[in-house]
Structures are given as C-alpha cells and as structure tokens.
Chains A and B, each alone.
Chain A
Amino acid sequence: MEVAVVGGSTRQILGVYPGKCMELRWVSRNIRSKAKGDKEKRVSVKNKKEKVPIYVSTNPSHINSEELRDLYSACNHSCHRFPKYLGCDTDVVEAVDIHKLRTALSHSSLVVSVFCKPTDVLLFTTKSSSEINTTSNENIQIQIQGLGLGLKDLFQQLMPVTPFNAQLVGFGRAVSDFGLTASIYDVMVIPSLRGMGIGRMILKRIVRMLASRDIYDIAAVCSEKERMFFKACGFGDDILGSTTMMYSRKVSTYDEGDQLVIRAGRKLLLAPALKETSASLKVKNS
C-alpha cells in the first residue's frame, strides 16, 4: 500500500532545528523531612538545595533504544493507552516492543532526553528512600554526603555529564505535521528524580521548539495521573471545547469471522469492514 508517508525523519529534524540542541542544566530539590508532618519547619541543614547537573538533549542520536526501553519500564509507562498488565493484581505494565519503539523514535518530530550522572542518580535514589523511612534524618544526610568524599567519586564528580557517560533519566517526544498541529507523547522521568522540575523542563523545551516553528496547536493526551502534571505546566482543556475520543471498537460475538483485529495493549480492536466497491453497490442496497 502506498501511503503518503513523508517527513518526520531524524535527518529532517536536525536540519529543522539548527544550533544548540544540547544543554547543561541544573535542577534542585529541597530536602524535606517526609516522615514528620508537613507543616514542620525544616532544619537549616536540610533546607540546603541539592543541585544536580543534568544534560538536556534534543538530538535523537543520543538515545539508546535499549536504555529508553528500560526507562519506560522504570517509569512503568506504556506506549499503549490501555496497557496490558503483567499480572491480575499488579499495575506493572508489559515492556515496550523495541522494534516499534525504534520506529516511533525515528518518526517522532521531536525528542527530548535528559541525562544525569549515574552517581547522582544513585545518590538521589538512596536519599529519597531514606527520607521516607527514618526519623533522624540529619545523621543520614551527613552519611550520604560522606559517600562523595572518596577520590574516585571526587573525580567522577568533576567529570562533566554528557550523554555518553550518563544515564537516561527523562524523556519526552512529540509528533508534528510541521504546519498546524503537534501531539506530545510519553513524557517521563524516573521516580527517584521526580519533583525537581525535570519533567517541566522537558515539556517547556518541546513547546518552545514547536512554537519556534510557529506551531501553537499542541495537544497532549494524558491519563488521570498525568493530568495534574500537564496542568501545572500550562496545559488546559481545549478552548474550543472539543472532546477527546479514541477508537475502541472491540470484537463482539456478533461479528462475522474474517475481520481485521489487532491488539493494542490489553484491548483487541476491530477494524471497520472493507467497503464494497461501486459495482456491487449498484446491485445491492448499502
């Protein structure tokens, strides 16, 4: 079938967005004591903002598809709107198909990836888990900071974060027709680095790049959980009051066999039947 499939290739993207597409940024997070009440005043030691260098890139060649697939799994994010769960009482979604992921990546008009040094990721993973569990946070904080005092760690801290020595921690992509509209998909940040503004940064970067191409009709289809995030980043309901609809015609027992059925996550979608040609229409009543 010859479908008019044009545009959206990676080569076109790089040509379309010349100039800087890789940037070094710092994100920070206030360290709070979650074990205690929210209203409690933070002790000055814990009030210090921990700055973490991250690398924001819009270059699709910086993305390793296996690493990306692992990020999807780490964020428990599925490409399907109605994902298949691995068990009946778990909400862990099945892993994303790597071939389809590669296809999707190569045909996404825009990709934004955020990298962070593995040591920093580790630091934050331990920090976040210890915050929740203990009451005497001060000791734990000093202990964790002590991790960085070894020579090897010091050297690693001095090394700049680049996509080649860092771990993929955040991602976002958009598909556009480079004329009128764009859709944003799969914005995600690993759980341990959430709440630091990385997701917002990804979204802002996508919107900025689209706006520079004069595209202001930017849509993002999101689930209930993601809605608050998008709202906080400046997205809202459609001003024209349109309703979002998704194709969900399922197979039923009344359908004849010989139909096209495809699986999309946990749903089995039924394609509309082939229309009869004009020759047969003349004879029959439609």
Chain B
Amino acid sequence: MLTHNVVAPSSLCPIVSFDFQGQQVYDKLLFAHNLNYGLDRGGRRKHKSLRLRAGFWESIKSGLLKDDTTQVIETSPEPQVEEPLPEEFVLIEKTQPDGATEQIIFSSGGDVDVYDLQALCDKVGWPRRPLSKLAAALKNSYMVATLHSIRKSPEPEGGDQKKLIGMARATSDHAFNATIWDVLVDPSYQGQGLGKTLVENIIRALLQRDIGNITLFADSQVVEFYRNLGFEPDPEGIKGMFWYPKF
C-alpha cells in the first residue's frame, strides 16, 4: 500500500538507494514529499509537468490578499456570507496503543497530489483515468475537499506520515449551480462518518455562497448515503441526461 507510491515513479528509486540509508529516512522521504521540495523535484523531474498541485497559484494569491479579505467582503454587492469556513481543521485525533497519535485533517485548500489521488482511486476500485485529466479537473474545480491522515510516531526522531484518505470535489458556476463529483474515502477508513463530513462541508460552503442547485450523480449503492445527507433522487421530475458519443 505504501510502496505503491514509490514504485510508480521509477526515477525515485535510485535516489532512495543512493542518498539515504535506513528505514526511518525512507519513511521521511515517502511522506514528506509535500515538504521536501528539493528531493521531490530532483526525483520526479520527468513528471514535473504532471505534478500540478491544485491550488498552488491560488494559495499564493490568497496569501497575498489575506490582509484584504475583510475589506473585499464589505464592499462587494454580493449577499453577506456567514463566518468563513476554516480552510483546514482537525477532525479526529486518536491515540494508538503504541503511543503514536493519528490526526485526520480536513482541508478545503485543494492541495492534492495527483499520484496520491490515483492511488486512492485504485484502492476504492475506480477505473483509472489519465493523470493529466485528473490534474486539470482538480485545478478547475470550484472546491476540492480532502482528508489527510497524519500519523505522528511516538519516537522523538520519527517523522510524520501524511496520507490522503479522502477527497470530494465540486464544480460550479459560482452563482446558481454546483455539481459534486468524485467523493471517495479510503476503504480502511470508511464507516466513520468521514465521507459524510466531506460532503457536508462542501454543501455548507456552497450554501454560504448562495449556490442553491447542488446536484450529484450517485451510483445505486450510494443513493441511501446521499439520501441521509439531505439529497433527493429525481426531485419533481428533474433528471440528469448524458451525452452519448456516436462514433
């Protein structure tokens, strides 16, 4: 499961054996890829073009505009929004028998590694989609909500392990309509209400922005799940139709 990430980009392996020795640092490399830029770029030079971190430019822009946020809200003609949803918060914190702590963190910043996402899709059994398409879809989605599990090891010199365990995304026209696509949670973390949290947070964010038409297309086995969240199938005769390509 963990090795999956390492085997896929073959260019990473030489670096592991050349530069590092020991199990500890192996873990560090694997899960610190979001923090350790230098190693990353060197190892995945081939895949640099595909390694789009969704929301990268947005995070820079939001960082620059952070001071002006309140002013913008006051002067805009749009309806007042409620208290802004925190971008990232800890959902659950558990302490394991060996002393390690595990935190599950919800984030709506859209910071998703496409490789992690591909691996997660494989775990839940979804068909594979091209990475470039996945990356473009994430970049252009209105909101990408993610769940990461951060496992802090009990030893003082042990590194943190950060793992993507859930994701949901929504596309929208920012005014009236939104559609939720791709809701998935790691099978080993299912049944804890994590999927529910993901979807509820997206709904809340959309409603705060006054986006009233929230739609989704549910497979037969998850219709009940969404019904419990407040979704209604085919309300008042409204149906979704799909284009059939004629080849």
Total interface residues on A, CB under 8 Å, equals 79
Contact A236-B87, Cβ < 8 Å, known A4-B144, A243-B218: no
> Binary interface profile of A, 1-41, with partner B (CB < 8 Å = 1, else 0)?
11111111000000000000000000000000000000000
Contacts of B204 in A (CB 8 A): 260, 271-272, 274
Interface centre among B77, B92, B174 (most CB of A within 10 A): B174
B210 touches A180 (CB 8 A): no
Among candidates A218, A247, A267, residue contacting B242 with C-beta atoms closer than 8 Å: A218
B108 touches A3 (CB 8 A): yes
Within the complex, what minimum Cβ distance (angstroms) separates B70 from chain A?
A: 12
B233 touches A216 (CB 8 A): no
B241 touches A104 (CB 8 A): no
A100 touches B176 (CB 8 A): yes
A80 touches B241 (CB 8 A): no
Residue of B nearest to A182 (CB): B171
B241 touches A220 (CB 8 A): yes
Asked whether any CB of chain B lies closer than 8 Å to the CB of A242, the reply is yes
Contacts of B77 in A (CB 8 A): 99
Residue of A nearest to B137 (CB): A179
Residue of A nearest to B235 (CB): A246
Asked whether any CB of chain A lies closer than 8 Å to the CB of B140, the reply is yes
Among candidates A181, A216, A269, A277, residue contacting B171 with C-beta atoms closer than 8 Å: A181
Asked whether any CB of chain B lies closer than 8 Å to the CB of A90, the reply is no
Interfacial residues of chain A within 41-61, with CB under 8 A of chain B in the complex = none
Among candidates A178, A235, A278, residue contacting B136 with C-beta atoms closer than 8 Å: A178
Contact A247-B230, Cβ < 8 Å, known A7-B140, A80-B213, A275-B91: yes
Contacts of A240 in B (CB 8 A): 219
Within the complex, what minimum Cβ distance (angstroms) separates B127 from chain A?
A: 10
Asked whether any CB of chain A lies closer than 8 Å to the CB of B116, the reply is no
Contacts of A5 in B (CB 8 A): 58, 142-143, 174
Within the complex, what minimum Cβ distance (angstroms) separates A97 from chain B?
A: 8
Stretch touching chain B among A112-120, A128-136, A161-169, A221-229: A221-229
> Binary interface profile of B, 213-237, with partner A (CB < 8 Å = 1, else 0)?
1111111100100110111111111
Contacts of A249 in B (CB 8 A): 229-230
> In the complex, A178 Cα to B84 Cα: how many Å?
28
Contacts of A103 in B (CB 8 A): 78, 173-175
B85 touches A243 (CB 8 A): no
Asked whether any CB of chain A lies closer than 8 Å to the CB of B4, the reply is no
A260 touches B134 (CB 8 A): no
Interfacial residues of chain B within 59-101, with CB under 8 A of chain A in the complex = 59, 62, 77-78, 81-82, 84-87, 89-93
B243 touches A246 (CB 8 A): no
Contacts of A286 in B (CB 8 A): 193
Q: Mind listing 28 A-B residue pairs with CB under 8 Å?
A: A1-B84, A1-B205, A4-B58, A4-B110, A6-B57, A79-B175, A81-B213, A104-B175, A175-B171, A177-B138, A177-B171, A179-B134, A179-B137, A183-B177, A183-B215, A219-B179, A221-B239, A224-B238, A231-B241, A234-B246, A242-B240, A245-B232, A245-B233, A246-B213, A262-B210, A272-B204, A272-B229, A275-B91
Question: Which chain B residues have a beta carbon within 8 Å of chain A's beta carbons?
Answer: 54-55, 57-59, 62, 77-78, 81-82, 84-87, 89-93, 103, 108-110, 129, 132-144, 169, 171-177, 179, 181, 193, 197, 200-201, 203-205, 207-208, 210, 212-220, 223, 226-227, 229-246
Query: What 4 A-B pairs come out closest when comparing CB atoms?
Result: A264-B212, A179-B137, A249-B230, A4-B110
